Structure 1
Amino acid sequence: MARKTKAEAAATREALLNAAEEVFFDKGVARTSLEQVARHAGVTRGAVYWHFKNKGDLFMALVEQVRMPFQSLVDEVKNVDPDVSPMDSLHRACLAGMQRLERPHYRQILSILLHRCEFFSDINPLEMQREINEECYAEMLVVFEMASQQHQLREEIAPETATRLLQATLGGLFHDWLRAPESYSLSERGADIIDALILLLRR
């Protein structure tokens, strides 16, 4: 059999990730087999193992497609406005993140991670969520510390407290919205809440 080109291999990998997203969302991760993913993608099971070690590796690759490190959102804001203040960069980064999560691809994978993924073999969804939350906390904290140093954060509120408050607010918004994502706009309702929170935190 002729060796696949890099382009063909990349296309197969993309097809497997797309298939995994659809089948995981429909059946749940634990109840999905790699055979089902391969069949849905129109490839052999061997093709799955060529690209991914196991189901956990496939699931991690899927989640990595939509990970949004908070620092990357802040950097995007700064690329548009290099002189943006720390508090405003936090504000705008949150709004940008919510707008991105409304895209079907992001929304569906987040829903799989939060609601359709159980402990199974080499998959620990709570550990994955913990790692993402800790990364987000650390990156938010850096910006809140800058805001505090520049006297933009209310002096009676510690940067650590402000970070936990913002993170809990965002987490609550995401979980609530994913229960019925078609019932309202995350970015519109979330904007009102984040606007109010930043106003309360701002000095």
Structure 2
Amino acid sequence: MARRTKTEAAATREALLDAAEAIFLERGVARTSLEQIARQAGMTRGAVYWHFRNKADLFQAMLQRVRMPFQELVEEIGDPSLAERPLEAIRQACQRGFERLELPRYRRVHAILLHHCETFAEIDPLAMQNEMADDALGALRDYFLCAAHLGQLREDTSPEIAARLMQAMLSGLFHDWLRNHERYALREHGMSLVEAQLRLLMRSSPPFR
């Protein structure tokens, strides 16, 4: 019975997060109440407070479901040879990130964070975006630094500049695609940009496999 209760509680929590996604995307975060989220999920407001302290807590939980730190994307690839091929690690991590963002939940939540969330109360979308951007920048800097040590990065480009160029391109791509995701396929378009930029940053430019 206890196991069933725990499973049911987890299902209730997921249903509330699903409902929050739908309404946040439609109405915006500031204009959405916990009562509306509860009704969307077919539950009472008490059920919301059982799982979340407030709307900010619920928003953070929704965001955590789609977080994809750059280093974790590389680790998911599971290829030990990437330690000697840091630029290829960047390429494959970007590809995994694009594939993940094309999933409806990932696309919805990132669209909410970037385009449907105002700063209010305990929710600061800009701070959250900065945290994610800084995480990506730090990981990219480490990989480009490794590439420089291995003699794979252009001598006239520092790891810091290379990381900032890549991070700026990815950030602009995400914002553009999330405004209207039907304009083009993110993975196809994104990979063409990533590979072109990596070629410009390589000391030599062999074709990607």
2:185 corresponds in structure 1 to: 185
Distance, in Å, in 1 between the alignment partners of 2:179 and 2:47 is 34
Residues 43-83 of structure 1: CA distance to partner in whole angstroms, max 9, x if unpaired? 11011111111100100111111111000111122x1x321
* 1:51-66 matches, cutoff 5 A: 51-66=51-66
Identity over the aligned pairs, expressed in percent?
55
Which consecutive segments of 4 or more residues in structure 1 shift more than 4 A?
Answer: none
**In 2, Cα distance between the equivalents of 1:199 and 1:133?**
23
The CA RMSD measured in Å over matched residues stands at 1.2
Distance 1:179 1:15 in 2: 26
Is 1:35 the counterpart of 2:50 in the alignment?
no
Corresponding residue number in structure 1 for 2:80: 82
**Please, which runs of 5 or more residues in structure 1 have no aligned partner?**
none
When normalised by structure 2's length, the TM-score is 0.92
Following the alignment from structure 1 to structure 2, what is the Cα–Cα distance between the partners of residues 87 and 181? 27
Quick one: distance in 2 between partners of 1:180 and 1:48?
31
Question: Which residue number corresponds to residue 140 of structure 1?
Answer: 140
In structure 1, what is the equivalent of residue 131 of structure 2?
A: 131
Question: Offset of 1:25 from its aligned partner?
Answer: 0.4
Count of aligned pairs between the two proteins: 199
Where structure 2 has 5 or more consecutive residues not aligned to the other structure, the ranges are 204-209
1:146 counterpart letter in structure 2: C
Instruction: Supply the distance in 2 between the matched residues of 1:15 and 1:76 (Cα, whole angstroms).
Output: 27
Output one character per residue of 1:118-173: Cα deviation in whole Å (capped at 9) or x when no partner.
01111110011111111111111111111111111111111111110000000111
The 1-side partners of 2:174 and 2:89 are apart by 20
CA distance in 1, matches of 2:74, 2:202: 18
Secondary structure of residue in 2 paired with 1:53 = coil
Equivalent residue, structure 1, for 2:104: 104
| Equivalent in the alignment of 1:73 | 73
Amino acid at match of 1:64: Q
Q: Which residue of 2 aligns with 1:152?
A: 152
The one-letter code matched in structure 1 to 2:104 is P
